[in-house]
Structures are given as C-alpha cells and as structure tokens.
Amino acid sequence: MIPPYPTAKEQLSLREKVGQFLMPAVFLDDTEEHIQAMEALIQDLGIGSLCFFQSRALAAANVQAQKQMGASPNEQPDYFGRLTELITRYQKASKYPLLISIDAEWGLSMRLPDQLKWPYPITLGALGNRIDLIEQVGYAIGLECKKAGVHWNLAPVVDINTQALNPVIGYRSFGDRPEAVSQRALAWTKGLSKAGVLNSLKHFPGHGDTRTDSHLDLPVIDKTKDQLEAEEWIPFRHLIGQADSLMLGHLAVPALTMGVNEPATLSPALIQIIRDWGYQGILISDALNMKSVSRRFEKAGALELAAFQAGCDVLCFSEQPEAGIEAIIAQAKEEEIEQRFQRWWALKEKGLRSVEEISSSTTSPVLLNEIAENTLTLLIGSPQSLQAFKKKQPSVRVFGRSLGILEGGSSSTHCLIELYLPSPKPGKNFGLREEEWKELLELLQTQKCWLYLFGNPYALSRLPWKACEGVVLTYEQGVAFQEAALKHYLGQLSAQGQSPVNLKEDE
C-alpha cells in the first residue's frame, strides 16, 4: 500500500523525495548482475518509477534477449513472464511501491514481441466514423498493462505528422489533421483510462514536422507560436483535461526561445507555455539517454539537474540517477522539491489505486477484424474498375515476402501487386531492398497495375502511385488485414477507410 501524501511528506527524507523523480530504464534481457544492481539502486536512492524496454542490445535485440533469458536461438522467450517476474522483484526491493511504466502505443507488443500487436495509431486514424473501435483498443491495451503490473503507459502520441519522411513519428501518429488526431487520441485515451492505466501525451511541442530523429540529433522546429497553436498544439490542448502526464520532447523552437536552439526538455520558456494553459499535472522528460540532449553535458548529474530546473518533474531514462539526485538537492529549493513531490505523489496514488477489471465486451480477434475491415482504404479506383481489371487476368507480383494471398492470371500488360513492407520506418527503404524498389517502379511504369499496400502508406511517396489503375491501403500485415484485402479483391467487402494523411508522389 502507498501511504497518503501527508504521511509520505513526513516519512520520506529530502533525498528520498528527490529519488522519486528519477525513472531509470530496465531491460527484459538484463543479466542477474544488472538486476541486482538495479535492486540496490532502488533501495539506496528511493527510486520512484521504472521504464521497461526489451533489450539493451537493440541492434540484435531478439538474439541478445534469448541468450540472457536462457532460451535457445530457436525458442521464443516468454517476454510477458519475464516482465512480471522483474516487476515483482523490483517492487519487493522498493520501500514504497514503484510506478511501473512502458511505451505501449500499440500494446505491450511494442516492447514484448510475444504479445498481441494492436493496430498502429496511423491505422486507427483511417477509421472514419468508427471512433468507438479506437476506444475499445485503448481499453484492451490498458487491460494488458494492468495484467502485467504496468501502471503508466507512456502514450498516446499526439504529434501531427506532416512530414512524410519523419524518421521517428510517422506511423506512430494518428494522422496529419489536427482535429482528427485530437478526436482519435481522445477516444484511445478514454479507453486506457477506463482500464485504470495512466497516460502521457507526447511529444510537446510537437515532433511531427521534422526529418531529424531526436534519438540522434536535435530537431529544430522552424515555426512561430501562432503556427504551432494552429496545428501542433491543438491535440495537446484538446486532451489536456484527460492528461495524467505530458511528455516533453527533445525539440527546439528557436522562435520561442530568443533564437536559441534549446530542447523543450531543458527550456523553462517552452515548459511555461504548458503551465500557462492551466495544466498542473506531471511533466515527464523524453528519454535522457537520447543524443539530442545527453551529449550536451559532460558532468554526471548535470543533465538531470537542467531538466528538473527547466520544469520536468520526472526524469525518464536517467543514466546518472545518484549524481542527478545530489545535483538537484544541492541546487533546488526545498519548497520547490516539496511542490513537485506532492504533484508526483498524487500521480502515484492514482496509478496504484486498485481498479476492478471488467472483461472486454469484444474479443481480440473480433475487434481486430472490425478494425481491418473498417480501415481498408480505396485511394484510387472503384469497385467497377476493379471488376474490369480482374477480367484482364492480371499476373500477380509479391514484394516483401515470398507468398501472397491473391490469385491472378498470366497477363503481360496488367499486374496485381501485393506490397508488404518489412518495416514501418522510412529509414532503409521501409525494409525493402533497393533492387525491389527498382523492380516495383519498372512495373508501375510499364504495366497497368492495382496495388495493395500492406504497411505504412507513406511508402507511396517513393512511387508514381497515381499512375496505378487502383491503390488499396491496409496499413498492417496481420492476418485480419490480409483477410480484409482478400475480401475486397473478391468483391465481398467495400472499402470504408479514409487515409489519415495526405499522400504525395516521389518526395
């Protein structure tokens, strides 16, 4: 049990209160040595929260995780079991209950490969009037988190993705239209909250209009305050009443910081804008290990202090927690620490409060099928033109995998294309080899084509897709989305979805 704030105020020392602001990262593939070191850190520093990730070795996450977890290369690790095991151990090590967090934008599968993958936000953005399905997804994800012992889902992304080649947002956004993003993010958040799980709106001041990955460098948003108010900030303001927390991104807006390229996480001026909106809740930094901020400081603890002084209440992925605590104690006023602590403790009390779980009224397969059938988007073409196209006995070409789902004929002038993107990220050509892109381009230039795209619709920016006879977007590669595409091709399903983003050719 967590004591009420008046009791905690008296029980925790100043050092323990500051320790509550630190959120170190923990990993499912950690060795026993790493785990024991974290248990000691929790006990010694009074850490307040943890953020779970799959692997330290992201370049070879699955193999590394298998080795550390004692699984053979051909055996699927029990990621969910590992998560619950570690949560139990870390909670036992803590004097006061930890608030456990994770990025679960499309469910726990974002970090746990063995869990059900719910649709990406961009897929949900295509749902037209079926906003009720989005709330059901948020609720289902919330129940997953609760079952695992996760209290705080660092989601949703409410960035307006207006840059097709955005390396870090893209498919994680609900779209590029502020009102539509607001509506969909609100429905998703309501579902999550209904399950009793905390949320976090991210990434203020808006990460959607950049080609720079803040994990690697500092994106600079060259917009005025009026421009941001008219686009990027609309979802934040629309959802602020539902926000349990709000995440600051490592993004610079020089027009609002006297021409200085200062990350929002370290900018009192940018953070004050949120407080001026009347928001009094928790502000959390984006991960402090990201190069856009971590390389700015050489002295241990200096980054944590700078983020705290700027206005961040929770310091996510702090790599120098002990030094950070000492720096904050040395520099911050006790009254400021107490004010932040009271705000933080209120969030902990809410997140740790027991909420009765209500069984979802819709089973996962049924919900996924509904989403797949209602997001299918006919970008070009019509049911009539598809029927005429099929009479030409088109040949079938499959890209991105060995086998497709559609059957065709032997035409040398008409081609039905199934394009499966191995990756939703634009980096490295969405996972396709360059020769595959060239072959695909040649097909579109020499034959009459219908294209079924299974993946990120922004991939169309690499192709002259408007020359196609027809283009259908499924957004995902899961079985439900393949079945929806097959039904559409057979004339058994009409396309009800609406593209959540404006698509251009050859950007």
Q: Which residues are catalytic?
A: 215, 286
On whether the CB atoms of residues 381 and 417 are closer than 8 A, the answer is no
Q: Residue 145: which of 103, 182, 113 has the closest Cα?
A: 103
Cross-sheet strand order for the sheet of 152-153: 25-27, 49-53, 99-102, 152-153
Residue 77: exposure state from Cβ atoms within 10 A (0-12, 13-18, ≥19): buried
- DSSP, res 117: P
- DSSP, res 105: B
Q: Residue 457: which of 477, 474, 469 has the closest Cα?
A: 474
Q: For residue 407, how many C-alpha atoms fall within 13 Å in the half-sphere facing its CB?
A: 2
Q: Residue 347: which of 94, 49, 24, 16 has the closest Cα?
A: 49
Name every residue whose Cβ is closer than 8 Å to that of residue 452 and which is 6 or more positions away in sequence.
Answer: 406, 416, 417, 418, 419, 472, 474, 485, 489
Name every residue whose Cβ is closer than 8 Å to that of residue 59 and which is 6 or more positions away in sequence.
Answer: none
In this structure, is the dihedral angle defined by the CA atoms of residues 98, 103, 109 and 111, taken in order, positive or negative?
negative
On whether the CB atoms of residues 35 and 86 are closer than 8 A, the answer is yes
- Cα 176 from chain centre: 16
Phi-psi category of residue 134: left, alpha or beta, with phi > 0 → left and psi -120 to 50 → alpha: alpha
On whether the CB atoms of residues 499 and 474 are closer than 8 A, the answer is no
In degrees and rounded to multiples of 5, residue 105 shows phi and psi of -65, -35
- Cα 160 from chain centre: 13
CA of 362: how far to CAs of 355, 369, 478, in Å? 20, 11, 18
Q: Amino acid identity of 456?
A: N
Q: Residue 421: which of 380, 462, 467, 390 has the closest Cα?
A: 462
Distance CA(204)–CA(253), nearest Å, equals 11
Distance CA(135)–CA(186), nearest Å, equals 8
On whether the CB atoms of residues 307 and 288 are closer than 8 A, the answer is yes
Assigned token pair, 86: 């570690």
Assigned token pair, 23: 């959120």
Residues present in the chain in total: 507
Phi-psi category of residue 278: left, alpha or beta, with phi > 0 → left and psi -120 to 50 → alpha: left
In this structure, is the dihedral angle defined by the CA atoms of residues 351, 21, 219 and 236, taken in order, positive or negative?
positive
